[in-house]
Amino acid sequence: MRRSQLPAGEVSPETEGDIPSLSQFIYEKLHTAITEGALKPGQLLRQEELASRFNTSRVPLREALQHLQATGLVSLRPRRGYAVTSLDEHELIGLLQMRMLVEGYAGYVATLNRTEEDVKELESCLRALERFPSKNMNDAQRAKWTTLNRRFHNALFAASGDEQLKLLTSNLSAKVQPYILLELSSTQDLVDGPTYHREIYEAFKKGDAATVAILSRMHCEMTAIRFLEVLQTRGMAIDVTPEQLIELGPAASIDRRGHGGAKPAAARRKPALETVPSAPRKSKPEPKPARTTDAGERVASRGRTLHTPR
Protein backbone atom coordinates (compact mmCIF):
# COMPACT_ATOMS: atom_id res chain seq x y z
CA MET A 1 0.00 0.00 0.00
CA ARG A 2 1.16 3.52 -0.75
CA ARG A 3 2.14 5.21 2.49
CA SER A 4 0.26 8.43 3.14
CA GLN A 5 2.22 11.64 2.77
CA LEU A 6 1.24 12.92 6.20
CA PRO A 7 3.92 14.28 8.52
CA ALA A 8 5.21 11.57 10.83
CA GLY A 9 4.55 12.02 14.51
CA GLU A 10 2.23 14.99 14.01
CA VAL A 11 0.45 15.88 17.24
CA SER A 12 -2.49 18.15 18.00
CA PRO A 13 -2.00 21.25 20.16
CA GLU A 14 -4.62 19.81 22.52
CA THR A 15 -4.02 16.91 24.83
CA GLU A 16 -5.21 13.47 23.85
CA GLY A 17 -7.69 13.56 26.71
CA ASP A 18 -9.61 16.24 24.85
CA ILE A 19 -11.05 13.73 22.38
CA PRO A 20 -13.43 16.03 20.46
CA SER A 21 -10.66 18.57 19.75
CA LEU A 22 -8.12 15.91 18.84
CA SER A 23 -10.53 14.05 16.57
CA GLN A 24 -11.37 17.32 14.82
CA PHE A 25 -7.66 18.04 14.37
CA ILE A 26 -7.12 14.61 12.78
CA TYR A 27 -10.23 15.04 10.64
CA GLU A 28 -8.97 18.35 9.24
CA LYS A 29 -5.51 16.93 8.48
CA LEU A 30 -6.94 13.90 6.68
CA HIS A 31 -9.53 16.02 4.89
CA THR A 32 -6.75 18.26 3.54
CA ALA A 33 -4.61 15.27 2.57
CA ILE A 34 -7.51 13.80 0.57
CA THR A 35 -8.62 16.99 -1.19
CA GLU A 36 -5.05 18.01 -2.05
CA GLY A 37 -4.22 14.58 -3.44
CA ALA A 38 -1.72 13.34 -0.83
CA LEU A 39 -4.14 10.48 -0.14
CA LYS A 40 -5.42 9.01 -3.41
CA PRO A 41 -8.89 7.61 -4.26
CA GLY A 42 -9.01 3.95 -3.24
CA GLN A 43 -6.02 4.20 -0.88
CA LEU A 44 -6.39 2.20 2.34
CA LEU A 45 -6.20 4.12 5.62
CA ARG A 46 -4.51 1.75 8.05
CA GLN A 47 -5.44 2.80 11.56
CA GLU A 48 -2.19 1.47 13.09
CA GLU A 49 -0.12 3.63 10.75
CA LEU A 50 -2.28 6.74 11.22
CA ALA A 51 -2.34 6.33 15.02
CA SER A 52 1.44 6.20 14.99
CA ARG A 53 1.76 9.23 12.73
CA PHE A 54 -0.60 11.31 14.84
CA ASN A 55 0.81 9.87 18.09
CA THR A 56 -2.67 9.08 19.37
CA SER A 57 -4.93 6.20 20.36
CA ARG A 58 -7.55 4.78 18.02
CA VAL A 59 -10.53 6.45 19.73
CA PRO A 60 -10.08 9.99 18.33
CA LEU A 61 -8.78 8.52 15.07
CA ARG A 62 -11.90 6.39 14.67
CA GLU A 63 -14.11 9.42 15.35
CA ALA A 64 -12.25 11.41 12.69
CA LEU A 65 -12.65 8.58 10.17
CA GLN A 66 -16.37 8.30 10.96
CA HIS A 67 -16.70 12.05 10.36
CA LEU A 68 -14.94 11.68 7.00
CA GLN A 69 -17.21 8.76 6.16
CA ALA A 70 -20.26 10.94 6.87
CA THR A 71 -19.01 13.51 4.35
CA GLY A 72 -18.42 10.78 1.75
CA LEU A 73 -14.64 11.25 1.54
CA VAL A 74 -13.84 7.82 2.98
CA SER A 75 -15.65 4.49 2.87
CA LEU A 76 -15.66 1.55 5.29
CA ARG A 77 -14.89 -1.69 3.44
CA PRO A 78 -15.87 -5.04 5.00
CA ARG A 79 -12.86 -6.83 6.49
CA ARG A 80 -10.50 -4.23 5.02
CA GLY A 81 -11.16 -1.07 7.02
CA TYR A 82 -11.37 2.51 5.84
CA ALA A 83 -10.23 3.73 2.43
CA VAL A 84 -10.40 6.99 0.51
CA THR A 85 -13.61 6.89 -1.49
CA SER A 86 -13.07 5.94 -5.11
CA LEU A 87 -15.83 6.92 -7.54
CA ASP A 88 -16.48 5.21 -10.85
CA GLU A 89 -16.96 7.38 -13.91
CA HIS A 90 -20.77 7.38 -13.67
CA GLU A 91 -20.79 8.38 -10.00
CA LEU A 92 -18.29 11.13 -10.70
CA ILE A 93 -20.26 12.50 -13.64
CA GLY A 94 -23.37 12.51 -11.44
CA LEU A 95 -21.55 14.57 -8.81
CA LEU A 96 -20.25 16.98 -11.42
CA GLN A 97 -23.78 17.49 -12.74
CA MET A 98 -25.10 18.04 -9.22
CA ARG A 99 -22.34 20.58 -8.67
CA MET A 100 -23.48 22.53 -11.75
CA LEU A 101 -26.96 22.92 -10.29
CA VAL A 102 -25.98 23.62 -6.70
CA GLU A 103 -23.19 26.11 -7.39
CA GLY A 104 -25.32 28.10 -9.83
CA TYR A 105 -28.04 28.47 -7.22
CA ALA A 106 -25.55 29.10 -4.41
CA GLY A 107 -23.85 31.87 -6.39
CA TYR A 108 -27.23 33.52 -6.94
CA VAL A 109 -28.17 33.48 -3.25
CA ALA A 110 -24.68 34.56 -2.18
CA THR A 111 -24.79 37.63 -4.40
CA LEU A 112 -28.16 38.70 -3.03
CA ASN A 113 -26.82 38.49 0.52
CA ARG A 114 -23.27 39.75 0.09
CA THR A 115 -21.74 42.42 2.35
CA GLU A 116 -18.74 44.70 1.88
CA GLU A 117 -16.66 42.22 3.89
CA ASP A 118 -17.70 39.39 1.56
CA VAL A 119 -16.62 41.39 -1.49
CA LYS A 120 -13.24 42.17 0.08
CA GLU A 121 -12.67 38.53 1.03
CA LEU A 122 -13.49 37.30 -2.47
CA GLU A 123 -11.18 39.93 -3.98
CA SER A 124 -8.37 38.75 -1.68
CA CYS A 125 -8.90 35.16 -2.83
CA LEU A 126 -8.94 36.24 -6.48
CA ARG A 127 -5.69 38.19 -6.19
CA ALA A 128 -3.98 35.17 -4.65
CA LEU A 129 -5.21 32.91 -7.49
CA GLU A 130 -4.11 35.33 -10.19
CA ARG A 131 -0.48 35.12 -9.05
CA PHE A 132 -0.25 31.60 -10.51
CA PRO A 133 0.56 30.78 -14.15
CA SER A 134 -2.29 29.36 -16.22
CA LYS A 135 -0.12 26.59 -17.69
CA ASN A 136 2.60 24.14 -16.70
CA MET A 137 2.45 24.51 -12.93
CA ASN A 138 4.65 22.18 -10.91
CA ASP A 139 3.24 19.84 -8.26
CA ALA A 140 3.68 22.31 -5.41
CA GLN A 141 2.01 25.10 -7.40
CA ARG A 142 -0.92 22.86 -8.37
CA ALA A 143 -1.50 21.85 -4.75
CA LYS A 144 -1.40 25.47 -3.60
CA TRP A 145 -3.60 26.65 -6.48
CA THR A 146 -6.14 23.92 -5.68
CA THR A 147 -6.33 25.05 -2.06
CA LEU A 148 -6.78 28.69 -3.09
CA ASN A 149 -9.38 27.72 -5.69
CA ARG A 150 -11.46 26.03 -3.00
CA ARG A 151 -10.97 29.07 -0.76
CA PHE A 152 -12.33 31.33 -3.53
CA HIS A 153 -15.48 29.28 -4.04
CA ASN A 154 -16.01 28.75 -0.31
CA ALA A 155 -15.73 32.51 0.23
CA LEU A 156 -18.29 33.11 -2.52
CA PHE A 157 -20.84 30.68 -1.10
CA ALA A 158 -20.20 31.78 2.51
CA ALA A 159 -21.76 35.10 1.52
CA SER A 160 -25.12 33.31 1.28
CA GLY A 161 -25.39 33.20 5.07
CA ASP A 162 -27.03 29.77 4.67
CA GLU A 163 -25.17 27.13 6.66
CA GLN A 164 -26.84 24.18 4.91
CA LEU A 165 -26.03 25.60 1.49
CA LYS A 166 -22.41 26.23 2.51
CA LEU A 167 -22.13 22.66 3.81
CA LEU A 168 -23.63 21.20 0.64
CA THR A 169 -21.32 23.13 -1.70
CA SER A 170 -18.29 22.36 0.46
CA ASN A 171 -19.00 18.62 0.54
CA LEU A 172 -19.60 18.43 -3.21
CA SER A 173 -16.39 20.32 -3.88
CA ALA A 174 -14.39 18.09 -1.54
CA LYS A 175 -15.64 14.92 -3.24
CA VAL A 176 -14.67 16.00 -6.75
CA GLN A 177 -11.50 17.90 -5.79
CA PRO A 178 -9.08 14.93 -6.06
CA TYR A 179 -10.37 14.23 -9.58
CA ILE A 180 -10.11 17.89 -10.59
CA LEU A 181 -6.49 17.79 -9.43
CA LEU A 182 -6.02 14.67 -11.56
CA GLU A 183 -7.48 16.48 -14.59
CA LEU A 184 -5.23 19.47 -13.97
CA SER A 185 -2.20 17.21 -13.67
CA SER A 186 -3.11 15.57 -16.99
CA THR A 187 -3.84 18.71 -19.02
CA GLN A 188 -1.37 21.12 -17.35
CA ASP A 189 -3.69 23.94 -18.37
CA LEU A 190 -6.28 26.04 -16.49
CA VAL A 191 -7.77 27.11 -19.87
CA ASP A 192 -10.23 29.94 -19.11
CA GLY A 193 -10.67 29.13 -15.40
CA PRO A 194 -8.93 32.36 -14.33
CA THR A 195 -11.22 34.35 -16.64
CA TYR A 196 -14.29 32.83 -15.00
CA HIS A 197 -12.95 33.68 -11.54
CA ARG A 198 -12.42 37.31 -12.51
CA GLU A 199 -15.85 37.58 -14.16
CA ILE A 200 -17.60 35.94 -11.21
CA TYR A 201 -15.93 38.40 -8.84
CA GLU A 202 -16.83 41.45 -10.96
CA ALA A 203 -20.49 40.39 -11.20
CA PHE A 204 -20.55 39.57 -7.46
CA LYS A 205 -19.13 43.00 -6.64
CA LYS A 206 -21.82 44.71 -8.76
CA GLY A 207 -24.58 42.62 -7.22
CA ASP A 208 -25.54 40.96 -10.51
CA ALA A 209 -26.91 37.74 -9.05
CA ALA A 210 -28.13 36.35 -12.38
CA THR A 211 -24.71 36.69 -13.97
CA VAL A 212 -22.94 35.13 -10.97
CA ALA A 213 -25.37 32.20 -11.14
CA ILE A 214 -24.81 31.63 -14.84
CA LEU A 215 -21.03 32.02 -14.68
CA SER A 216 -20.79 29.70 -11.66
CA ARG A 217 -22.71 27.04 -13.53
CA MET A 218 -20.68 27.55 -16.72
CA HIS A 219 -17.46 27.28 -14.70
CA CYS A 220 -18.63 23.89 -13.40
CA GLU A 221 -19.65 22.84 -16.92
CA MET A 222 -16.18 23.67 -18.23
CA THR A 223 -14.56 21.60 -15.49
CA ALA A 224 -16.91 18.67 -16.10
CA ILE A 225 -16.32 18.67 -19.87
CA ARG A 226 -12.56 18.81 -19.41
CA PHE A 227 -12.68 15.89 -17.01
CA LEU A 228 -14.91 13.95 -19.39
CA GLU A 229 -12.21 14.37 -22.04
CA VAL A 230 -9.63 12.95 -19.61
CA LEU A 231 -11.88 9.95 -18.92
CA GLN A 232 -12.45 9.34 -22.61
CA THR A 233 -8.75 9.43 -23.41
CA ARG A 234 -8.44 6.60 -20.87
CA GLY A 235 -11.21 4.59 -22.51
CA MET A 236 -13.88 5.43 -19.92
CA ALA A 237 -17.30 7.12 -20.16
CA ILE A 238 -17.22 6.82 -23.95
CA ASP A 239 -21.04 6.72 -24.14
CA VAL A 240 -21.43 10.25 -22.72
CA THR A 241 -21.21 13.39 -24.85
CA PRO A 242 -20.48 16.92 -23.56
CA GLU A 243 -24.03 17.89 -24.54
CA GLN A 244 -25.49 15.06 -22.44
CA LEU A 245 -23.22 16.01 -19.57
CA ILE A 246 -24.40 19.61 -19.27
CA GLU A 247 -28.02 19.36 -20.44
CA LEU A 248 -29.89 18.72 -17.21
CA GLY A 249 -33.38 19.85 -18.19
CA PRO A 250 -35.65 22.52 -16.65
CA ALA A 251 -34.31 21.93 -13.14
CA ALA A 252 -30.97 23.33 -14.29
CA SER A 253 -32.27 26.86 -14.71
CA ILE A 254 -32.33 29.87 -12.43
CA ASP A 255 -34.95 32.56 -12.91
CA ARG A 256 -33.23 35.80 -13.88
CA ARG A 257 -36.08 37.76 -12.29
CA GLY A 258 -35.09 36.43 -8.86
CA HIS A 259 -38.43 34.83 -7.97
CA GLY A 260 -38.64 31.85 -5.67
CA GLY A 261 -36.08 30.49 -3.27
CA ALA A 262 -33.38 33.14 -3.45
CA LYS A 263 -34.59 35.37 -0.60
CA PRO A 264 -32.04 36.97 1.74
CA ALA A 265 -31.14 34.75 4.70
CA ALA A 266 -32.73 35.89 7.96
CA ALA A 267 -29.58 35.01 9.88
CA ARG A 268 -27.45 37.73 8.25
CA ARG A 269 -26.04 40.06 10.92
CA LYS A 270 -25.24 42.86 8.46
CA PRO A 271 -27.45 44.32 5.71
CA ALA A 272 -26.79 42.94 2.26
CA LEU A 273 -25.56 45.28 -0.46
CA GLU A 274 -27.80 46.47 -3.27
CA THR A 275 -28.19 44.13 -6.22
CA VAL A 276 -28.56 44.74 -9.93
CA PRO A 277 -32.18 44.40 -11.13
CA SER A 278 -32.57 41.51 -13.54
CA ALA A 279 -34.16 41.93 -16.95
CA PRO A 280 -37.69 40.52 -17.40
CA ARG A 281 -37.79 37.00 -18.81
CA LYS A 282 -38.92 36.66 -22.42
CA SER A 283 -41.65 34.13 -23.13
CA LYS A 284 -39.69 32.64 -26.03
CA PRO A 285 -35.94 33.21 -25.81
CA GLU A 286 -34.39 33.93 -29.18
CA PRO A 287 -31.36 31.91 -30.40
CA LYS A 288 -28.17 33.37 -28.98
CA PRO A 289 -24.71 33.79 -30.54
CA ALA A 290 -21.77 31.57 -29.64
CA ARG A 291 -20.13 31.93 -26.22
CA THR A 292 -17.39 34.57 -25.99
CA THR A 293 -14.92 35.69 -23.36
CA ASP A 294 -16.81 38.82 -22.22
CA ALA A 295 -18.92 38.23 -19.09
CA GLY A 296 -22.03 39.93 -20.49
CA GLU A 297 -21.75 38.07 -23.78
CA ARG A 298 -21.14 34.78 -21.94
CA VAL A 299 -24.43 35.24 -20.09
CA ALA A 300 -26.31 36.32 -23.21
CA SER A 301 -25.02 33.30 -25.10
CA ARG A 302 -26.81 30.79 -22.89
CA GLY A 303 -29.30 28.92 -25.03
CA ARG A 304 -31.63 28.27 -22.08
CA THR A 305 -33.10 30.60 -19.48
CA LEU A 306 -32.06 29.99 -15.87
CA HIS A 307 -34.73 29.90 -13.10
CA THR A 308 -34.76 29.47 -9.32
CA PRO A 309 -36.54 26.42 -7.81
CA ARG A 310 -39.88 27.54 -6.40
State pLDDT tens for residues 43-79.
999 999 999 999 988 899 999 999 999 888 889 988 8
61 and 120 housed in the same domain: no
State pLDDT tens for residues 197-248.
999 999 999 999 999 999 999 988 888 888 787 777 766 655 777 787 777 6
205 domain residue, yes or no: yes
Q: Which of 65, 84, 103 is the last residue of a domain?
A: 84
CATH number for position 24: 1.10.10.10
Q: 277 Cβ partners below 8 Å, 6+ apart?
A: none
4 domain residue, yes or no: no
Q: Which of 50, 84, 118 is the last residue of a domain?
A: 84
198 and 75 housed in the same domain: no
- Model pTM greater than 0.75? no
| Straight-line distance from the first to the last Cα atom of the chain, in angstroms, rounded to the nearest whole number | 49
Q: State residue 251's pLDDT score.
A: 41
154 and 205 housed in the same domain: yes
10 domain residue, yes or no: no
CA–CA distance, 42 with 147 (Å, rounded to integer): 21
142 and 217 housed in the same domain: yes
Q: State residue 300's pLDDT score.
A: 53
122 and 267 housed in the same domain: yes
49 and 125 housed in the same domain: no
2 domain residue, yes or no: no
CATH number for position 270: 1.20.120.530
Q: Which of 64, 84, 104 is the last residue of a domain?
A: 84
221 and 108 housed in the same domain: yes
Which residues, given as ranges, of the chain have pLDDT below 50? 1-5, 7-19, 250-270, 281, 284, 287-293, 303-310
79 and 132 housed in the same domain: no
246 domain residue, yes or no: yes
Number of domains in the chain: 2
Nearest to 262 by CA among 204, 310, 200: 310
Q: 121 Cβ partners below 8 Å, 6+ apart?
A: 155, 158
CA–CA distance, 300 with 293 (Å, rounded to integer): 11
52 and 191 housed in the same domain: no
DSSP state of 261: S
241 and 94 housed in the same domain: yes
Q: Which domain holds residue 287?
A: 89-300
Helix (H, G, I), strand (E, B), or coil: what is residue 76?
strand
53 and 119 housed in the same domain: no
